[in-house]
Structure 1
Amino acid sequence: MAVYVNANKAYILTLVTRELNKNLDGSLVIGNMEPTLLSGLPGVSLTLNNVELKDKRWNIHKHTLLQAKDIKINVNSLALFRGTVEINKIDIADASAYLYTDSTGYTNTSVFKKNKKATTAPDESTSSSTEIRKVMLQRLKLVVNNEKGNKLFQFAVDELSAKVDYPSKGWKADVDLDVLVNSLAFNTKRGSFIKNQRLKGPFNINFNADSSVIQVAENKLKIGDNDFVIGASFNTSKEPTTFSINIRADKIAWRNAAALLAPNIKKRLDQFNLKNPIDVKCAIVGNMGPGGDPLINVVADVKDNVLTTPGGTVDSCSFRGMYTNNFFEGRGLTDENSAIKLFGFKGAYEQIPFSIDTAFINNFKAPVATGVVKSKFDISKLNAIVGEDLLNFNGGQADLNLTYSADLVDLMLRKPYFTGYVNIKNADVNYKPRNLRFKNTGISLKFTGPDLFINDLRLQSGKSILLMEGSIRNFLNLYYTAPEKIVLNWEIKSPQLHLGEFLGFLNARPNVTQVKNKSKGTFGRDLNNVFNSSKVNLNLKVDKIYYKKFLATDATAQLYVSESGIQIRDTRVKHANGSINVTGNLYQTGDATRFAINAVVANANVKSLFYGFDNFGLQAIRHDNISGNLFSKVKLNGRISNRGILLPSSLNGLITFNLKNGALLNFQPLIDVGKFAFPLRDLNNITFGDLGGALDVRGEKVNIRPMKINSSVLNLDVAGIYAMNKGTNITMDVPLRNPKKDEGSSKQEKMENRMRGIVLHLVAVDGEDGKIKVKLNRNRDKN
């Protein structure tokens, strides 16, 4: 046999080449052939060197179908003597195969489909039925590049061994494979599955000639470091070939599973994580022809796990999750038609239990999340989410049921649409930036799409009780995108309001410390930003308002609250048997609150008014020194301390007034003057029919514009400076003529007679004891 092979090497090479070229539409070139007799006994083994297989269009695309340094072929020696070749085994080493399909659909594998017009009748004397019994591949680089179908498969086969049997119809193969998958891209625009992962294990493959279906039985394999069970089928009777691949993994880590998927899916899944391994099933169905992605369905069962998301961590998490790129049948296998479905989702976010019966995230190009979330929990559990420097809750219960739909931007909710409710009962709340405490609080939040309605809100702070109804239009959209545009419309009623319990609003709102643990999400930061940036339209009705000695009734107010301060649009109260109407602004600063107000006082009892406003900071005249009905207009700006105390030095403005039926009672400075000037007159009770004037307020000094005072006891002209601290200098011209002499005279006659006779020129100045002293104005002529 050795003599024969060596003597006929050229002839045998021709036979082998002819056999291998049979039915080829291209060229097969074998550089050399050497027999290796002993390794192939009882047959003949031939080593083919430098083998190249090219299709007829190689000069155009330049992709060689097969290049091999060494191909060992075991042939039937008896058939060889008959002039035919039967190949029992092929062993290929150090080879590369490139299966190429261009954009028109032409493929270099057409080399195996000889043109029928060139086919001649078979020569039975030289033809044979070639059956390959064994295949061994080592160090093979395999590329399947389908430009028309946007598919790219690249494999580095370290070793492949196959044993092939030929039943009556088709064939069977037992394959052991060790391969590195460089690319498994069913759509190159989406990227590769199991990229750079090693696939290792056995395959049992069966081909049925009648159905032209290749069936890969389920078997245990390794992909990377993970164990899988994989099965598949390929239908070659169809053009193009269709396939179905089923993959199952028990107890695989979330990140390991995500690493096997295409980048368009992986980059989304990588933003989540599950602490414990999960069970996963995946089905991939498609074809090798042109088109988009294959159909992909993934199912994962999660039980009592820890889920990490961009919005926070969910403990005790259980659900069945599904991914598909065919959410709506017939709309294509695309990102736009991809979805994640969650069924029976249960978990706890910062110890707050919740459940979602069914949730969807669909359209991966512009993701939308939908579902129904339910929860009941102790309200104190919100402390960990909101942040201890913003709100602190004690006691009370929360109950929520919300149906939601929202866009997902970087897997965070945007443009949400909620319907449902959140009810809170019997909660104690401390709003720390303002140091406001409310007890026995209840609230009902009703979501109707993007709008929020706040019903049955009851706040109790000390003795104050507030009953509130509110609404925010387009709340959910603005909450995430533009909190500064949020406007809360409040309708507030109260039987009694103690302003001293709300002095926290006079403080500048401090910066709130952010939640330190980023894993707790952004809820607290977002909520703080909303509180800090949003605006409030407030309509207030209060039966009684208390502040120190001040008491007002039947109060109504229209306020606009923003980050910069409070706009008092219209505030009306009844006080001192009269009414007060106020408009203006409050501006918060670090150590005080600036105000600019316009006020109108109508028919107020001046004694009660002075008492309620703590004598306006005046020391010389107090509420028990004055009586009558006051009409006044005030235009004033200044500051109020964080403790609610008026800062006289900051005042600036104009006060005009008219006092009807007034009286000056026990006013000591005039009593002191009267002891020597008017000893026979009652200066303890000086009445005024009508007293009007104007005061310019400049800090702690009040400029009294020239004013004529006509009273029951005396007449006087007054002008000068009244100082709340030091610097009082008020000139007074007091005629000694008794006004009673003019009783019965006309108004004109009284005006002509009021300054006749002797006139005392007095001046009121600061005394050494801090009290105002009245003395003769000896410098009048000089002034």
Structure 2
Amino acid sequence: MPKWLKIILKIVAGVVLLFMLLSVGLFIYINTNKTKVLSLITSTLNKNLDGNLSIGDMETTFFKGFPGISVSLKNVIIKDKRWAEHKHTLLSAKDFDVSINTAALLRGTIRISNIEISNAAIELYKDSTGYSNTSVFKKKKDQPKKTTEDDGGGSSAEFGRFTLNNVSFAVNNQANNKLFAFDINKLAGKMAYPDSGWRAALDLKVMARSMAFNTDKGSFIKDKEISGQMLAGYNEESNKIYVSSKGLKIGYDVFQVNALFDTGRKETEFAIHLNVNKIMWRSASLLLADNIRKTLDKFNMSKPIDLKASISGSLGGGDPFLYVEGKIKDNTLTIPGSKIDSCTFDAVFTNHVDKTKGYDDANSAIHLYKFSGRYNHLPFIIDTGSIVNFEKPVATGNFRSSFALANMNYLLADIAKFSKGSADMNLRYKADVVNYTINKPFIAGVINFKNADAVYLPRNLAFKNTSLSLNFIKGNLILNNIRVQSGHSVVMMNGRVNNFLNFYYDEPEKILLTWNIKSPELRLAEFMGFLGNRKNVQTKTVRRGGSNSGNIIDQLGNVLDKGNAEMHMDVAKVYYKKFLATDVRANLLTTSDGIIIKDVGLKHANGTLRLNGKLLQGANLNRFNLNTTVSNVDIRQFFYSFDNFGLSAITYENLKGYLSAKANITGGVTDNGTLVPRSIHGTTLVSLRNSALLNFDPLIKVGKFAFPFRDLKNIEIPKLDAKFDLEGDKIIINPMQFSSSVLNADISGVYGLNHGTNIAFDVPLRNPKKDEDITDKDELQKRRYRGIVLHLAAKEDETGKVKIGFNKDRKKKD
């Protein structure tokens, strides 16, 4: 071995030996004078505390911290001076182990190479007045400030490694209603001291018991384990602490974490940023405070989502600022009462919408962007949507959708069934959110239906090739370019409902739809469903205090049933069974009770009709009340069109000529439009001109013995005015003069449609042909009763047959 190497080795060995001797000496000194050293340490530390520090025992170990000295403190307790009042101990540690670097100590520097705290409790407490037990670290007011010389020089203590095992740590701020509490199973770190401050690499396993920024609203990440590795650092110039982790496990999910704490402020301010991919909705909600979690748990997602969250505020007081971003793709969103499939959207939550207000529920909002999904088989897109003010939530947004109308069958259920057609919707909406569901939306925009085939189920009305455009403008509903076809009937309509949305939910009976209707051809039989009672529609939700619902779809059945329509009609042709009318003009008002008919005018049977009245729907019978004016119609066509008005003895085949009449009648009609027998009551004034009675069997029978040489098969009636009272199955014939080409007669009595016929005939036997050249009315009247006058009666006998004979009752009257 070279001589120089031997010399170097001897020097190193000597230095090591000297260092070991010094360490052994220090170790022996401390152990020999343990009581004195412990008292010195306690008294020295208490000089710098505004409270009390006590150490139960102290032990030193040589090899545990070699080449340094390890000191194990037992039952270390730190209390502030007002501990007796509040009973919150700042530090209570059963085991407090410190390893001091001997070499650094010889250089005048206290370097703690390792510190380990086990089985301890740390509580930073602040009462409601703002007093904190951390004031124990403030110097006593009567303690004089030491000079640099008194301090003896040297640098501040530095830490190397540190470990916390089984330590509970809490920040209990009752002044600001905050509580942060953690059970530290293990926290190990290694410190470094660059010129700017310090850095630490941490390995932790902690149970978060409470992270309540406001204890009234609950805790974030309550009872969740936090584990993983973190980096932390402190900058002395900026007084800021930073914390970061690329893989911090919170519960069962792994987060990226970046945090900043500004300790240079009067109250430490913080900003925490979290990023997690593929987290389940319920797992995310469990990390939030109770007031937020209870709301979020009303919803759910079937697949994991990606989230970014920012939490910032002050540890001193006030609720924190929250900002959460979420990305959802091809997911199923469960909402109260339903589901939205195939969801894709971006979402943002913030509790600071208005920058001039605080961080609370009233200032909170959820914003949705590029929301696409399917609700009950209906695809839709919400370009932008928001739910603001969580105390009184209001939802707003832009809604677009295009779909086949058959998809609406799942939603409309027992209201309508579509078999063909398409729909386009472009709407802006604003609605209250009640019990987490959209309630009474106020909408603006347009809905278009094209080429629709549908059945309106409550009235069993079928429509085909139907189109319509619904425009919602300032609460009003405007209907344009509507084409409705039912069977052969084609109707083109435009309409308007003022104040529609206000009445829609609360007072549907006040809705008045004003229609302007044109049609080339209308067949009333295809709309007989309106005569029947509407089938009950089962709504999903019934509003308390009434039958109306805040759900726009559920309420549709109520609106269709209770709403009113005012129709102004212009129809080229109207068909009903055998009836044909042309150039029809009508004003109709439909209500929940029936139909009011106003100013109906039409052409029929080469004449005109005018009509006013109403049709009231009933459970078993539909009642009508009509005022009709008939002008110069062909009586044969008129009777044919109305099935002889229920008469059997006289029909359209027995009539010829022109009829004018005024009628005020009431009656009943069935759901299929058939007149109810014996239901008609009222009065009819009839005027016949240039008419004839053809092959009327009752008169032919009379004529066989009374007028054997006269043509009773074609009785010409130049003029006849009569009044009839209709009383169910009886027609009261008011006294009238019948003048014809064959005979004259004075007629009055009762004609029974079923029974009760009793008609008196005063028939002069004089042939009217003898007087056909006389034009003087008075002279004609005198000649009318010359000669023999037969007083006959057509009366029903006991068997129900009508027999004609002499009117014996007339003699009794005389």
Q: Could you state the TM-score of these two structures normalised by the residue count of structure 1? A: 0.88
SS of 1:396's partner is strand
Between the aligned partners of 2:573 and 2:377, the Cα distance in structure 1 is 42
* Correspondence for 1:454: 479
Instruction: Give unmatched runs, 5+ long, in structure 2.
Output: 1-25, 542-549
SS of 2:711's partner is coil
Q: CA deviation at 1:711?
A: 4.1
Between the aligned partners of 2:54 and 2:746, the Cα distance in structure 1 is 130
1:56-100, Cα deviation, whole Å (9 max, x unpaired): 44466x151425262423254979999999766554455444433
1:73 to 65, 87, 97: 97
* Correspondence for 1:774: 804
Tell me, yes or no, if structure 1 residue 339 matches structure 2 residue 368. Answer: no
Q: CA deviation at 1:532?
A: 2.4
Deviation larger for 641-650 or 352-361: 352-361
Deviation larger for 81-90 or 167-176: 81-90
Between the aligned partners of 2:114 and 2:506, the Cα distance in structure 1 is 68
| Contact 1:70–1:94 (Cα < 8 Å) also in 2 | yes
Tell me, yes or no, if structure 1 residue 723 matches structure 2 residue 752. Answer: yes
* Correspondence for 1:437: 462
1:475 to 500, 504, 512: 500
| Contact 1:325–1:337 (Cα < 8 Å) also in 2 | yes
**Distance of aligned partners of 1:290 and 1:663 in 2 relative to their CA distance in 1, 3 Å threshold:** same
**Distance of aligned partners of 1:665 and 1:290 in 2 relative to their CA distance in 1, 3 Å threshold:** same
Q: CA deviation at 1:546?
A: 0.7
Between the aligned partners of 1:90 and 1:771, the Cα distance in structure 2 is 127
Tell me, yes or no, if structure 1 residue 243 matches structure 2 residue 270. Answer: yes
* Correspondence for 2:236: 209
| Contact 2:440–2:552 (Cα < 8 Å) also in 1 | no
Q: CA deviation at 1:676?
A: 1.4
Between the aligned partners of 1:162 and 1:22, the Cα distance in structure 2 is 29
1:543 to 569, 572, 578: 572
* Correspondence for 1:16: 41
Between the aligned partners of 1:348 and 1:682, the Cα distance in structure 2 is 81
1:727-763, Cα deviation, whole Å (9 max, x unpaired): 3232333343455666648655655665565443333
* Correspondence for 1:489: 514
* Correspondence for 1:599: 628
| Contact 1:630–1:657 (Cα < 8 Å) also in 2 | yes
| Contact 1:86–1:128 (Cα < 8 Å) also in 2 | no
**Distance of aligned partners of 1:727 and 1:137 in 2 relative to their CA distance in 1, 3 Å threshold:** farther
Between the aligned partners of 1:312 and 1:451, the Cα distance in structure 2 is 29
Q: How does 1:162-181 map to 2 (within 5 A)?
A: 162-181=189-208
Tell me, yes or no, if structure 1 residue 261 matches structure 2 residue 288. Answer: yes
Higher-Rg structure is 2
1:177-229, Cα deviation, whole Å (9 max, x unpaired): 33333332223454332233332333322122222111112231222222222
1:273-314, Cα deviation, whole Å (9 max, x unpaired): 2221111111112222333x3222212222222233347433
* Correspondence for 2:151: 124
The AA in structure 2 aligned to 1:390 is I
| Contact 1:417–1:449 (Cα < 8 Å) also in 2 | no
Between the aligned partners of 2:528 and 2:63, the Cα distance in structure 1 is 100
* Correspondence for 1:702: 731
Q: CA deviation at 1:245?
A: 0.7
2:403 to 374, 377, 380: 377
Between the aligned partners of 1:576 and 1:21, the Cα distance in structure 2 is 120
* Correspondence for 1:313: 339
| Contact 1:64–1:97 (Cα < 8 Å) also in 2 | no
Q: CA deviation at 1:599?
A: 2.5
1:351-395, Cα deviation, whole Å (9 max, x unpaired): 4443333333333334444443333333333333322x4322233
The AA in structure 2 aligned to 1:721 is V
Q: How does 1:34-49 map to 2 (within 5 A)?
A: 34-35=58-59, 37=61, 41-42=65-66, 43-49=69-75
Deviation larger for 407-416 or 725-734: 407-416
Between the aligned partners of 1:109 and 1:477, the Cα distance in structure 2 is 61
| Contact 1:19–1:85 (Cα < 8 Å) also in 2 | no
**CA-atom RMSD, angstroms?**
3.6
Q: CA deviation at 1:510?
A: 1.4
Q: CA deviation at 1:708?
A: 4.1
Fraction of identical pairs, as percent: 45
| Contact 1:414–1:481 (Cα < 8 Å) also in 2 | no
Tell me, yes or no, if structure 1 residue 678 matches structure 2 residue 707. Answer: yes
| Contact 1:75–1:85 (Cα < 8 Å) also in 2 | no
SS of 1:608's partner is helix
Instruction: Give unmatched runs, 5+ long, in structure 1.
Output: none
Between the aligned partners of 1:527 and 1:200, the Cα distance in structure 2 is 55
**Distance of aligned partners of 1:147 and 1:581 in 2 relative to their CA distance in 1, 3 Å threshold:** farther
The AA in structure 2 aligned to 1:227 is V
**Distance of aligned partners of 1:228 and 1:447 in 2 relative to their CA distance in 1, 3 Å threshold:** same
Between the aligned partners of 1:690 and 1:117, the Cα distance in structure 2 is 134
* Correspondence for 2:381: 355
SS of 1:380's partner is helix
| Contact 1:134–1:161 (Cα < 8 Å) also in 2 | yes
SS of 1:525's partner is coil
1:501-549, Cα deviation, whole Å (9 max, x unpaired): 1122222221246689xxxx96653433332232222211111101111
Tell me, yes or no, if structure 1 residue 640 matches structure 2 residue 665. Answer: no
| Contact 1:66–1:95 (Cα < 8 Å) also in 2 | no
SS of 1:341's partner is strand
* Correspondence for 2:315: 288
Between the aligned partners of 2:77 and 2:700, the Cα distance in structure 1 is 132
Q: CA deviation at 1:448?
A: 2.6
| Contact 1:669–1:772 (Cα < 8 Å) also in 2 | no
* Correspondence for 1:616: 645
Deviation larger for 395-404 or 751-760: 751-760
Q: How does 1:83-232 map to 2 (within 5 A)?
A: 91-103=116-128, 105-114=130-139, 118-121=143-146, 123-124=150-151, 129-232=156-259
Q: CA deviation at 1:672?
A: 1.2
Q: CA deviation at 1:236?
A: 0.5
SS of 2:676's partner is strand
Q: CA deviation at 1:671?
A: 1.8
The AA in structure 1 aligned to 2:325 is V
Deviation larger for 723-732 or 297-306: 723-732
SS of 2:52's partner is strand
Q: CA deviation at 1:337?
A: 3.5
| Contact 1:367–1:407 (Cα < 8 Å) also in 2 | yes
The AA in structure 1 aligned to 2:682 is G
**Distance of aligned partners of 1:557 and 1:781 in 2 relative to their CA distance in 1, 3 Å threshold:** same
SS of 2:575's partner is strand
SS of 2:243's partner is strand
State the number of aligned residues.
774
Q: Could you state the TM-score of these two structures normalised by the residue count of structure 2? A: 0.85
SS of 1:616's partner is helix
Between the aligned partners of 2:30 and 2:618, the Cα distance in structure 1 is 106
Tell me, yes or no, if structure 1 residue 394 matches structure 2 residue 419. Answer: yes
Between the aligned partners of 1:636 and 1:139, the Cα distance in structure 2 is 98
**Distance of aligned partners of 1:8 and 1:764 in 2 relative to their CA distance in 1, 3 Å threshold:** farther
Deviation larger for 98-107 or 612-621: 98-107
| Contact 2:109–2:156 (Cα < 8 Å) also in 1 | no
SS of 1:261's partner is coil
The AA in structure 1 aligned to 2:611 is V
Q: CA deviation at 1:468?
A: 0.9
Tell me, yes or no, if structure 1 residue 299 matches structure 2 residue 325. Answer: yes
Between the aligned partners of 2:47 and 2:514, the Cα distance in structure 1 is 87
**Distance of aligned partners of 1:414 and 1:350 in 2 relative to their CA distance in 1, 3 Å threshold:** closer
Between the aligned partners of 1:618 and 1:664, the Cα distance in structure 2 is 15
SS of 2:678's partner is strand
Deviation larger for 734-743 or 527-536: 734-743
* Correspondence for 2:300: 273
Between the aligned partners of 2:210 and 2:506, the Cα distance in structure 1 is 40
* Correspondence for 1:504: 529
Tell me, yes or no, if structure 1 residue 570 matches structure 2 residue 599. Answer: yes
Between the aligned partners of 1:120 and 1:277, the Cα distance in structure 2 is 60
| Contact 2:65–2:99 (Cα < 8 Å) also in 1 | no
* Correspondence for 2:557: 528
* Correspondence for 2:581: 552
**Distance of aligned partners of 1:415 and 1:238 in 2 relative to their CA distance in 1, 3 Å threshold:** same
